[in-house]
Structure 1
Amino acid sequence: MFNKAINQYLNKHHYKSISLQSVLFDMDGVLFNSMPYHADAWYKAMNTRGLNMTKEEAYLHEGRTGSGTINIVYQRQWNRQATKEEIEAIYNEKTIEFNKHPLAKAMPGAWEILCKVKKANMTPTVVTGSGQSSLLNRLEENFPGMFRPELMVTAFDVKFGKPHPEPYLMALEKGKLQKNEAIVIENAPLGVEAGVAAGIFTIAVNTGPLDPQVLLNSGANLLFPSIQDLCNAWDELITAFKATPKI
């Protein structure tokens, strides 16, 4: 089932195998069911300032830095970049609105798949465009012992957010990994694009309202309807990585 996608990746990048040592997880929409809260917060923060942005659009911007999202809307509506002060004010308002929501719950299957990753002596790492400290601080609370802070990549670390490959390339650098020694798990089109642009085998999980084809069009090597479905198929997937014929 998975061998075709793996072979296509290997042939495209001229690797003999995927020697999996690390799994790079996006956070919002992958580890936490937080995207509905982000979408609502962006909608309210933007509209308060007369900026037109729907909740649905927020899903398409997922993975960008906050400044990147704000500047897209400013360019579209007012034909200019937002000032530093405007960006700080809007993102602060967005954070306030986000924190009005209940704590986002962990995605079903997230803990189980992390346990499988650790059991196989692989390193799970978070690569997120988020700068929401309320979520970042909850990683250890919800997933104790799973993540090493020094390997994480967040909005505070990068100059270019997703879909630029910088976040995932930085994760490889921090982990001293080659591109064929990790895989990416993403739920957003821009995140998928970032993983693919970084040259890493990228798995999409469609945990939001998007048409699945949007994620495939972004270049996902494989697509699952949820984290739980990916977790259920994990052992089969790892076997396929190990068994795929060498080029």
Structure 2
Amino acid sequence: MSRIKAVIFDFDGTILDTETAWYEAFREAYLEHEVELTLEMYGQCIGTSLHVFDPYAYIVEKKGLDAQQFRQDVHARHDKKMDQERIRPGVLAYLEEAARLGLRIGLASSSKRSWIDKYLSQLGVGYYFEAIRTAEDVSMVKPHPELYELAMRDLGVQPAEALAIEDSPNGARAAVAAGMHVIVTPNPVTRALIFDGEPRVFGSLAELSLAELIESLA
């Protein structure tokens, strides 16, 4: 049996698919101003901050738009789309199984804590997480490994004892840089992006149990 002692989840796109809704919201808003937002462009900011590509600033500068109004438009579109979203398949089963197996459970996200808390409350799964690390806790978000490093420190585990569950190239890079085991469960948007190396990819966590996955890592 593998020595896995902790499972650390990414949030956006992994636990709840907020990423597809963001891309669709931005793409629709861009098209209203006759600008195409390609997935190649938008993919640069998935799983990280907006320092590489800022989808707000790009079109505001390109078209001379009112920044606040454009932001409000995109957020309204995203909120409407998120009304239809549910926790991704297999996630709840993994949380329950991890708890049953006595594994430590953490969360490491490049998003802000208020964003994470909002959705964890709505999903009713916040109590599973012993450690939550977000953008406010680090100087650099993913793909830098600091978020995962802090979460592992909080849980008292070494990299070889921790499994990261990710959905994006930037997130997977962070987990690899932290020395962890990592699997990827892409969503409809991140499925089209290019991942470094050959990570283990699953359509969803419903494809195999956590115990089976851990056994395969041995």
User: Equivalents in 2 of 1:213, 1:71: separation in Å?
Assistant: 17
- Asked if the contact 1:32–1:106 (Cα under 8 Å) also holds between the matched residues in 2, the reply is yes
> Which one-letter code corresponds to 1:28 in the other structure?
D
- The alpha-carbon distance between structure 1 residues 71 and 157, as it changes in their structure 2 partners (threshold 3 A), is farther
Where 2:109 maps in the other structure, the secondary structure is coil
Structure 2 match to 1:147: 129
- Asked if the contact 1:140–1:147 (Cα under 8 Å) also holds between the matched residues in 2, the reply is no
1:1-247 equivalences in 2 (<5 Å): 19-43=3-27, 53-55=37-39, 57-70=41-54, 94-103=74-83, 104-131=85-112, 133-142=114-123, 143=125, 145-148=127-130, 151-210=131-190, 214-215=194-195, 218-219=196-197, 221-229=199-207, 232-241=208-217, 244=218
- The alpha-carbon distance between structure 1 residues 225 and 47, as it changes in their structure 2 partners (threshold 3 A), is same
Aligned positions, number: 210
- The alpha-carbon distance between structure 1 residues 228 and 128, as it changes in their structure 2 partners (threshold 3 A), is same
- The alpha-carbon distance between structure 1 residues 199 and 89, as it changes in their structure 2 partners (threshold 3 A), is farther
Shift of 1:22: 1.2
Structure 1: give runs of 5+ residues left out of the alignment. 1-16, 79-85
After TM superposition, the score normalised by the length of structure 2 is: 0.77
Shift of 1:60: 4.4
Shift of 1:187: 0.8
Structure 2 match to 1:10: none
- Asked if the contact 2:162–2:181 (Cα under 8 Å) also holds between the matched residues in 1, the reply is yes
User: Equivalents in 2 of 1:90, 1:115: separation in Å?
Assistant: 40
Cα deviation 1:142-170 (Å, max 9, x = unaligned): 2252123xx21122222212111122112
Shift of 1:107: 0.5
After TM superposition, the score normalised by the length of structure 1 is: 0.69
Where 1:152 maps in the other structure, the secondary structure is strand
- Asked if the contact 1:40–1:55 (Cα under 8 Å) also holds between the matched residues in 2, the reply is no
Structure 2: give runs of 5+ residues left out of the alignment. none
Cα deviation 1:81-100 (Å, max 9, x = unaligned): xxxxx7x9976765454324
Structure 2 match to 1:83: none
- The alpha-carbon distance between structure 1 residues 56 and 214, as it changes in their structure 2 partners (threshold 3 A), is closer
- The alpha-carbon distance between structure 1 residues 52 and 171, as it changes in their structure 2 partners (threshold 3 A), is farther
Cα root mean square deviation, aligned? 3.4
User: Equivalents in 2 of 1:56, 1:63: separation in Å?
Assistant: 14
User: Equivalents in 1 of 2:51, 2:33: separation in Å?
Assistant: 15
- The alpha-carbon distance between structure 1 residues 227 and 165, as it changes in their structure 2 partners (threshold 3 A), is same
- Asked if the contact 2:162–2:180 (Cα under 8 Å) also holds between the matched residues in 1, the reply is yes
Where 1:116 maps in the other structure, the secondary structure is helix
- The alpha-carbon distance between structure 1 residues 203 and 93, as it changes in their structure 2 partners (threshold 3 A), is same
Cα deviation 1:107-135 (Å, max 9, x = unaligned): 01111111111111112211112238455
- The alpha-carbon distance between structure 1 residues 66 and 18, as it changes in their structure 2 partners (threshold 3 A), is farther
